[in-house]
Amino acid sequence: MELIAKYRVETDLPIKKAAAAIAAEQSTGTWTEVRGADNPLAARVISAEGKEAVIGFPEEIFEPGNIPQYLSVVAGNLFGLGALKRVRLEDVIFPEGMVRAHRGPRFGIEDARKILGVFNRPLVGTIVKPKVGLDPAGTAAVAAAAVRGGLDLVKDDETLTDQKFCPLASRVEEVMSALERVEKETGKKAFYAVNVTTGADQILERAEKAVDHGANMVMVDVLTAGFSALEVLSRNVNVPVHVHRTMHGAFTRDRAHGISMLVISRLVRLAGGTNLHTGSYSGKMAGGREENDLSRDALREEWYGLKRVFPVASGGIYPAKVSANLDGYGIDCIVQAGGGVHGHPDGTTAGARAMVQAVEAWQKKIPLEVYAKDHKELETALKYWAA
C-alpha cells in the first residue's frame, strides 16, 4: 500500500524531472547518486503533467501513528529544493492502515449535538471580544450575555491562554458559573472552549486542570502547539476539543506554495478534533470555494469509521454573511462571529439573537430582509452593518 501525495509545482525543470526530484528527496535519495537509493522504500512518480505531480510513498516508510513523521516525509525538505520555484502540497490520500493507527475524534458531530441537545440546525458560536484584556469576571459577563441570546458555543481567542490578567483556572470557574446561571434561567446549554494551548510538557496537565475547574470543552491552536498535542488532548481529556487554525495563512494563503487547508483538515480529523476552523465562504477570511468544499468533505465524509468533525466558518462574519456560509457548509457546521455579535449596537445579547435569527431565516428559506421585519435584532444588525 502507498500514501499518495499530490503537489502543485512551479519549476524551470521538466515536470517529470521535478517530480522525480521530490520523490527522491523525500524518500531514499539525495542530491547525488548513492548506493542503495533504489531500494523498495523509494517513492515513485505516479504522474507528472502540467504543474501537477503525484507521488506514491510506500506505507513502510512511515511510522504508524506519528503525524510529525508523516509531515517530515510529505512536506519536508522539498520546500527548500532550489530547482522548485514554488510547490504546494495539495492533498494526501492515506492508506487504511495509517488511518487506523489513529483513533480520530473522541467527540464528533453527533456527540457534541447530544451534549447540547441541539439537532437539525447549524450551531452558532462566538469568540469573546476584546481578544485580550478582560479579567475572568469580564469574560464571564460577555459569555453569559452571548448564551442568553441563544448561542451554542463561546470560545477564547487564540491569543488568550493563562496570562496574569485572566488566569485560566479563575476564568473557567467564572465562565462556567455564569453559563450555569443562564441555563437555569433559560434552559440553554452551551460549550465554553477554553484555550489550553501551551508547550508539549504542560498541555495535558493544563487541559486536565481546566476540566477539573468545570470546563466542558477545551481549545488548542493546532499549528502552533502541534498535531500531536491535539492527539494527546483527544485521547486523554473527556470533553470535546475545539481546534483553532491560527498561523494557517503562512501555509495556506499562497495557492501556489505551502500546504492546503485540505491537508490540515485531514490531519486534524486523524488527531481527534471535534471542531475545526476551515475558512468561510463569505467574510474577512474567506477562502476559495473549492478548497472550502474539499475541507468540509474531508471532515464529514465516511473515513474508515472515524467520527465526523464540525467545520467552523469564522472571520468577519455577521448576520448578512450567514446564508452564504450555510449554503456552503450546510446544517452540520458551526457559524461563528466575534465582532458580528459583540459589535451589535444594542449589545452582545442582541447581537447573538441577530445571528440566531439569520440562521432561522436560512433554514426557513425566508430572505433576511423579510425575516428582519418581525425580528428587531436582525433588522438593527442589517441596517447597522449595511452602513
Write down the pLDDT at residue 196: 98
- Give, in degrees to the nearest 5, the angle at Cα 200 between 195 and 203: 35
Least-confidence region, from 20-29, 177-186, 215-224: 20-29
Average pLDDT over residues 278-289: 82
- Closest alpha carbon to 207 in 174, 175, 163, 161: 161
Asked whether residue 22 carries a pLDDT value surpassing 80, the answer given is yes
Average pLDDT over residues 25-29: 84
Whether the CB-CB separation of 55 and 44 falls below 8 Å is answered with: yes
Burial class (CB in 10 A: 0-12, 13-18, 19+), 115: middle
- Domains defined along the chain, listed by start: 2-99 (3.30.70.150), 109-386 (3.20.20.110)
Asked whether residue 34 carries a pLDDT value surpassing 90, the answer given is no
Asked whether residue 361 carries a pLDDT value surpassing 80, the answer given is yes
Average pLDDT over residues 208-232: 98
Average pLDDT over residues 39-51: 94
Asked whether residue 178 carries a pLDDT value surpassing 90, the answer given is yes
Mark whether 129 is an active-site residue. Answer: yes
Indicate which residue of 6, 129, 155, 307 is catalytic: 129
Indicate which residue of 6, 244, 248, 277 is catalytic: 244
Burial class (CB in 10 A: 0-12, 13-18, 19+), 116: middle
CA dihedral (171, 172, 175, 180) positive or negative: negative
Report the distance separating Cα 147 and Cα 118, nearest Å.
14
Report the distance separating Cα 309 and Cα 299, nearest Å.
5
Query: Which pLDDT band holds residue 82 (cuts at 50, 70, 90)?
Result: confident
Mark whether 244 is an active-site residue. Answer: yes
Average pLDDT over residues 238-249: 96
Helices (H), 195-255: 203-212, 222-225, 227-236, 249-252
Asked whether residue 33 carries a pLDDT value surpassing 90, the answer given is no
- Closest alpha carbon to 23 in 6, 44, 2: 44
Helices (H), the chain: 15-25, 67-74, 96-99, 109-116, 136-148, 168-186, 203-212, 222-225, 227-236, 249-252, 261-271, 289-300, 319-329, 339-342, 348-364, 368-372, 376-386
Write down the pLDDT at residue 32: 61
- Closest alpha carbon to 83 in 127, 172, 20: 20
Write down the pLDDT at residue 37: 62
Write down the pTM of the prediction.
0.96
